[in-house]
Amino acid sequence: MFEEMRAYLGLETTRGWCPQTVRRAAPSLFGLYGLVALWYEHLSAGGVTPGRVHWAHKQTTTFSDAISAVRRWLWQHWVFASLDQDHAFAKLPEPLQEVLLYALAPAA
């Protein structure tokens, strides 16, 4: 399974030296990948069409697009809402909202 994850998903070798680190990190990363993929599919089915991460000769949706869309949704509908800042965010002009989400959402 780990060999396939490395080949297909580009999973890198963990930097931990302890066997428990390796046993925790790889399944956690695979689980997070699965959650992001499912969440992105759910957002896409709900009609959310977030911006794509653009780079040269890109033809399809990538994991960068998916994680950026999920993070954008989390910032807009969870972080701002849980901090009671959703009304303040909604009052901002839409171009400024887009700039803020564009800066906050991409994967690091």
Could you read off the pLDDT of 49-96 as tens digits, one per residue?
555 666 778 778 778 888 888 888 888 888 888 877 778 888 889 889
CB burial class (10 A; 0-12, 13-18, 19+) of residue 68? buried
pLDDT, tens digit, for every residue of 2-49?
Answer: 677 667 666 666 676 777 777 777 778 888 888 988 998 888 887 765
Give this prediction's pTM: 0.69
Dist CA 78 CA 18 (whole Å): 35
